[in-house]
Amino acid sequence: MREMELEIESLSYSDSAEFESDYSLTPEASSESEEEDKDKSVVPSRDCELKSQNVDALVRGNIEVKRQSLFPRIYSVKDAEASLRMPFKPPSSTGYSDNKELARKLLARKRFVPWGSTRPILVNITNKFHIPITIEKEDLEESTPLPPGIEPLVLWQPEVSNDRDSDLVSIMVDPMLVKYLRPHQREGVQFMFDCVSGILSDSSINGCILADDMGLGKTLQSITLCYTLLFQGFDGKPMVKKAIIVTPTSLVSNWEAEIKKWVGERVNLVALCESTREDVISGIDGFTNPFSPLQVLIVSYETFRMHSSKFNQSGSCDLLICDEAHRLKNDQTLTNRALAALSCKRRVLLSGTPIQNDLEEFYAMVNFTNPGVLGDAAYFRRYYEVGFSVYCPKMPIVSGREPTATEEEKKLGLQRSAELSTKVNQFILRRTNSLLSNHLPPKIVEVVCCKLTTLQAELYNHFIHSKNVKRAISEDTKQSKILAYITALKKLCNHPKLIYDTIKSGSSGASGFEDCLRFFPAEMFSARSGSWAGGDGIWVELSGKMHVLARLLAQLRQRTDDKIVLVSNYTQTLDLFAQLCRERRYPFLRLDGSTSISKRQKLVNCFNDPSKDEFAFLLSSKAGGCGLNLIGANRLVLFDPDWNPANDKQVITRVWRDGQKKRVYIYRFLSAGTIEEKVYQRQMSKEGLQKVIQQDRVDSEKAYFPVVFHY
């Protein structure tokens, strides 16, 4: 009985007031009159006796509970005095002022967790006297303790000074994010803060490029930086009020989901994805309104370009984050110019492949991030590409890496490369995905060289010795025509069916194949939907790479439970993949440029679901090369190489990401002795330029441990 009395006595005043406003407790067994009750309540010595009677009546069940109206009631002074003479003591304001734990528990009673939510929400508790309840800012959310062994992440703290009037405060990352950051991600957040906050010695640096390889968590690092700047600053006020995240169309919803995943509803954001024109205009106007509570806008590159004039007013953006920023490699595009005109100095560019083809593209990205830091375009081209040295009339850095470079060219190239690295490494952070080796299963990349079949070899030799091709090589032919010929050869390496379709369509790339129909076996064609027949999939054996792929799929399906992703640059090749899967009865899904944005994530979720029996995922490298998480598969076939190594690297990392549990195998198919070997060699040469910004100076390809097979 004593324990129950203590428990009742420990009720807070707010709880008692709220309870009393809803219910009326009347002891039925009490034989005393109303006047006697008033006398007892006035006399302090009778408080304990009255409490004992109430407790006794509660135990015996002699308490009548009556429901009272929830409508506001007007109390007289007499009612108020009666309420204050309640037998249950409210907690004294001085009784727990020094006990922070008790104060926290009492405050927690004013919270509830609604259905569908994962965190408490502050609710207003009304009381009889309509006294406003004020709660300090730091009490709005309980502090999240860090796990053992994880130190707080302090981005900046003021120097120790005797000036007590200083308003400078420390800037720390919220513990709810710190506990999920890996060591390299903590370093990345600190690096980006140093650049955009303007605390570096070089005053011309206000932006940065986070050039980490795919899979290192550039999104989480950016969200951590953005969230910190939206609520903290040197003087205690937010350093950033408005932030814009520009991303490819297919990743708008992904960014919105990631922000809600890490910070919940703490940030007011608007994401413009698959919206009508009216919704887009309304969303942008609401964001740019200086009195709007919206803090973050997520928009695609195309939408920003079309409505760039709405962001011209000052204060519309304090922080700009550009995802897949290698789209800004050409400073003459309308999108680049629209973003460059934005009056925002704090710019963060995210790209796993900042250098793709040449240094001019790299200069465009650097100049967008920090305008003028490398001089104008003419100076950069003259100093780093043309040079003054008589030993190197070509590009000093690029030509110094060529196999035929002289010692003088190599020396000058290393000198200019080191000088450029010193400048850009102040605001560019590059880490390879070898850092993931401690967190992810091993990854093995195998370069599979396949021989051409007899049909492919005949078509290939006939094409390169045709009059049209010889004329194009010897004469000054347009570059587009040469590229069309190269594309035709690459399609031939995939499968002769692609060349047959090219001839039938009459495209420019088939000008050397006009009389090649005689090489194709007539029995291989079917009148139904143009598909290849020939018995039990004999069409597969007409391509060396397709034959190897068919045997690989058969082995995986029969002997393992692994899933596989099949990637190609051409939708025609995906059609052949689909026909192969249908003939062999392999369950598969397909994502290419014709797949709507709303369906893409559903396909990914279905494929990653371990309860589903989807064996293969057919993927177009152009449509799904970035932003997709296909950890449901641990094997990937890159069926044809691309001139741009960034496209292949983007695709490879679709399966080797956080959440992968199995050992990953990447198969890069190449047709031996063809144009594909030249494309692959060119990729290796282009990736060598990454050393300009790669601090560890380790060739990224060495982390893959490629194994070469000749089939």
Cα 490 to Cα 150, 357, 449, 457, 470: the distances in Å are 52, 20, 14, 13, 18
Query: Crossing angle, helix 479-494 and helix 571-584, to 10 degrees?
Result: 10
Within a 10 A sphere around the Cβ of 249, how many other Cβ atoms?
A: 15
- Measured CA angle at 657 (ends 250, 323), to 5 deg: 35
Burial of 614 from C-beta contacts in 10 A (0-12 / 13-18 / 19+): middle
pLDDT-derived band of residue 228, with 50, 70 and 90 as boundaries?
A: very high
Measured CA to CA, the distance from residue 699 to residue 687 in angstroms comes to: 8
> Which H or E element spans position 13?
helix 13-22
Give the predicted TM-score (pTM) of the model: 0.64
Measured CA to CA, the distance from residue 695 to residue 432 in angstroms comes to: 10
Q: Give pLDDT tens digits for 649-679.
A: 888 888 888 788 899 999 999 999 999 988 8
Those residues whose C-beta lies under 8 Å from the C-beta of residue 313, and which sit 6 or more positions away, are 288
Those residues whose C-beta lies under 8 Å from the C-beta of residue 255, and which sit 6 or more positions away, are 219, 245, 247, 271, 298, 323
Measured CA to CA, the distance from residue 639 to residue 567 in angstroms comes to: 6
Q: What type of residue sits at position 126?
A: T
Is the pLDDT at 288 greater than 70? The verdict is: yes
Measured CA to CA, the distance from residue 499 to residue 496 in angstroms comes to: 5
Q: Give pLDDT tens digits for 69-115.
A: 444 444 444 444 444 444 434 344 344 444 555 555 544 443 333 33
3-state SS track over 57-103 = HHHHCCEEEEECCCCCCCCCHHHHHHHHCCCCCCCCCCCCCCCHHHH
- For 508, the token pair is 């420019």
Q: How far is CA 687 from the centre of its chain?
A: 24
Torsions phi, psi of 497, nearest 5?
A: -60, -35
- Residues 374-386 have a mean pLDDT of 77
Burial of 674 from C-beta contacts in 10 A (0-12 / 13-18 / 19+): buried
Residue in the block written with tokens 């950051």: 181
pLDDT for res 457? 92
Between 145 and 328, residue with greater pLDDT: 328
Q: Which domains does the chain have, with CATH numbers?
A: 2-100 (no CATH), 154-160+167-371 (3.40.50.10810), 374-426 (no CATH), 442-710 (3.40.50.300)
